[in-house]
Chains A and B, each alone.
Chain A
Amino acid sequence: MQLSEHDISLQRLFAENRELIEKDAAPGVNAAREGAMEAFSKLGIPSSKVEAYKYTNLQAWFKAGYTQAYGLNGATSEALKQFECNVHELDSYTLFTVNGKFVAGSNVEALPDGVEAGSFAELSKKYPELLKRYYGSLAKVEEDGFVALNTLFATDGIFIYVPKGKVVEKPIQVVNVLTGEQDLMVNQRNLIVVEEQAQARVLFCDHTMSMSRFVVNTVTEGHVAESAMLDFYNLQNQHNGTVQVGAYHFDQAARSLLNANYFTLHTGVARNNIFSRLGGPHAENHISGLYVIDKNQHVDNFSFINHAVPDCESNELFKGVMDDASTGAFTGRILVAPDAQRTNAYQSNNNLLLTENAKMNTRPQLEIYADDVKCSHGATVGQLDENAMFYLRARGISKEEANILLMYAFAYEVIEKIQVPALKEQIRELVEKRFRGELDKCDSCVVCGQLGTGRAKSE
């Protein structure tokens, strides 16, 4: 493939700053850069001609010329004080990153013995054997230009390690903040390892605090070992000038359970690459997502569930509401490998289009190489049910209120899947506010809301 000018500028950027990038990183992370460079010079940033990126062209944004977050760029933990992303009554361990760098943790000392949650840069040096075993094992540089780019520039992020048999009751909340006066590119790298019979709940909140343009390319690799359990939540609430590519690669061993939920409430351009590999029998995977977008926002959820072994089960549900001139895209690919018998895989994608300028592209795909399977997928694009609307109107409910009620009911199916009651309540509230258009006034978790809608720079 011919590399574009932008791709070459990124390569040059790496060559020029290599020393700076490699300075604080673990040897294992640095060792992977050569391969990443090689892969990136083959792949580049994918154009919309690449089938997986058919509905989202990101080439325009990924180039040199942004400030790179090698250092902290002046952001301190002091700045975070005003942030206080306190999920109401959510008693959690909290980690903060600013522009992709780990800055502080609160309450982390209370984590059970042996459980680690903190800076990727530091912990990857502390646990070289974990890094060696897991780093880049799921997010392969040769498969995606963005993974290659991330591996090339990765310095810091979040590292969570839950050793065998440990149960972390309270959620570990990771608050990813983007801030600064200059336009910024961030390549954040996260690693989550949950060992045998261990349990953890992890919540990633993505926020913006200033109005600069942020171009984010984050890669998260998660390993869920035998009989382990991981609840993973991603809540994206960023201003319109944000372009984020988030890759979430999970690997599950036998009898493990993964619940993953992706909420995109506000963003500029968002692309989620969600990969789950069911690698041991009787593993269970539940993923769901909700995207509520307006203005000219764009959200593309690309998911790939790989049933590599027999007797696994997966459930996938993505729902979206598109307002104004926003565009949504969904790809859900389910692969059932040869001999992965007795697989149950279900997938569903439902969308509401509210205006004539809103668009939705959806591709639910099944690829099945075994015969004793039960697989289904469904996709719908439509509007609110007229009968339901009539029912509500006939009972004296105003049109606006009925609209909100029905949209909320539509979204609730996804919210319902959240396993942490306090978090469920919080997101429920956020979504309701979102539908009421009140998100801007929200003073809690959604700082970006104040800067978002309309007032932020947008394309």
Chain B
Amino acid sequence: MASEQDKLLEEVTNREYQYGFHSDIDMDVLPKGLNEEVIREISRRKQEPEFMLEFRLDAYRKWLQMESPDWAHLKIPKIDFQDIIYYAAPKKKPQLNSMDEVDPELRATFDKLGIPLDEQKILAGVAVDAIIDSVSVKTTFRETLAEKGIIFCSFSEAAREYPDLVKKYLGTVVPSGDNFFAALNSAVFSDGSFVFIPKGVRCPMELSSYFRINTMNTGQFERTLIVAEDDSYVSYLEGCTAPMRDENQLHAAVVEIVTLDRAEVKYSTVQNWYPGNKEGKGGIYNFVTKRGICKGDYSKISWTQVETGSAITWKYPSCVLMGNNTVGEFYSVALTNNYQQADTGTKMIHLGKNTRSLIVSKGISAGKSQNSYRGLVKVSKKADNARNFSQCDSLLLGDKCGAHTFPYLEINNPSAKVEHEATTSKIGEDQIFYCNQRGIDTEDAVGLIVNGYVKEVINQLPMEFAVEAQKLLQISLEGSVG
């Protein structure tokens, strides 16, 4: 059986990144390097209002004082921040109304990825804010959404057209000096999505933004801001694929979510960036700061993530439960293979009364990868009746990989009930045997067991994402171990 396992493992680990291609689109790029002039230039090119430039420069000055964090269970090669292009935009900057006007090559790129940008996807009911590198190229369903008063547009557009809203919420959840990478993002962020759901509106469709990193050596600095007013609801999807590349690329995104009274935001991510080749060469560095604040009473933020790509992942989607009776949720599947490293988890900060949070994290490590869960549950002194339950499971496929759990529980209120559970195991031989006995071969059995293992999280994803997520997991998982 061992040799069969090895064969399967080899098969899986040898599978090349199937979305690896590089499309040639005319790019308008700034020279490499970072200084105040570059920031001013980014701001100028994007025709931003004055306050945005101030925000960027303030963040840049803070960033200069900071050092790259080293507390994570990661080995990060030194990054030369002067060797990165901080701005790249497709030259033809389209303000388009129909699909025909979109650069054909760009469309082909999307087609290869199966991004629902064309007509048939309208039937699927997905509004897509497609992003190639830094500038939002095409936004669909704008009109449908506009009728309801929902704003869903690129960040730079929002900064120009809705400066008041942006000014009111930008940096309120993730301040510009929050951490090293958030500060860097605040200084140089190129584009991203802006979502605003007005009072009492339930967004009729899943909002989706596909990311793609393109152009050699372009750091991708996305900034997403989602604001849900009283009694509103929105589900936002973020999915990523990136072409194969030899040099490491840096991705430092920031996502901010604000929910007011009784509002609910569901944020789902499937991340499948290039993880580097079998020797661990290349791959994306994914250093992301995601945080939501439940500002109003009875509001809810739910994070769901399926992380399969990136050479290094450093990501902690968090919830600040500020209002009373607010709810924070975090569902995560993190899969690492070959030389991938992931240090991911969440923070649940309980500030209001009767707040609840739930953490379900499923780590899967294969090959020579390292997979860590790192999470904080903090109950402040005034957060009466806070409730948290955390479940962190790790599955090891192969004997060269590592699975680690680093939870932090800081409890300052006696009425809190906080529980943390973690287990680490491999797929039991008895489980495999049980399946074999019933005529299911080992590869299918592993698929079955892993599927069951991650079900709890996958179930949280919207339908079309769930399908993609399962497909992604299959690529690396099926039959890796018996």
Contacts and interface: CB of A to CB of B under 8 A. Distances in A.
A359 to B, nearest CB: 5
A377 B425 contact: no
A400 interface: no
B408 A375 contact: no
B401 interface: yes
B402 A369 contact: yes
Contacts of A365: 404-407
A380 B420 contact: yes
Interface in B121-146: none
Contact of B394 (A341, A357, A368, A380): A368
A363 interface: yes
Contacts of A370: 396, 399
A115 interface: no
Given A368-B424, A376-B421, A377-B405, A360 B396 contact: no
A380 B402 contact: no
A378 B399 contact: no
Contact of B399 (A339, A358, A374, A382): A339
Contacts of B425: 373-375
Contact of A381 (B71, B411, B422): B411
B400 interface: yes
A362 interface: yes
Contacts of A355: 414
Interface in B401-445: 401-426
A136 B461 CA distance: 54
A368 B402 contact: yes
A356 B383 CA distance: 10
A363 B418 contact: no
A438 interface: no
B420 A378 contact: yes
B414 A380 contact: no
B407 A364 contact: yes
A366 interface: yes
B335 to A, nearest CB: 15
A13 to B, nearest CB: 33
B74 to A, nearest CB: 13
Contact of B422 (A351, A357, A362, A377): A377
Interface string A383-424: 100000000000000000000000000000000000000000
A379 B398 CA distance: 28
A334 to B, nearest CB: 9
Given A360-B411, A361-B410, 15 more contacts: A51-B71, A356-B381, A356-B415, A360-B410, A361-B411, A363-B407, A364-B420, A368-B394, A371-B398, A372-B426, A373-B396, A375-B425, A376-B424, A379-B409, A380-B420
28 contacts: A338-B400, A356-B381, A356-B413, A357-B381, A358-B414, A360-B411, A361-B409, A361-B410, A362-B411, A364-B405, A366-B394, A366-B405, A368-B404, A369-B402, A370-B396, A371-B399, A371-B426, A372-B399, A375-B424, A376-B422, A377-B405, A379-B409, A379-B420, A381-B416, A381-B417, A382-B417, A382-B419, A383-B415
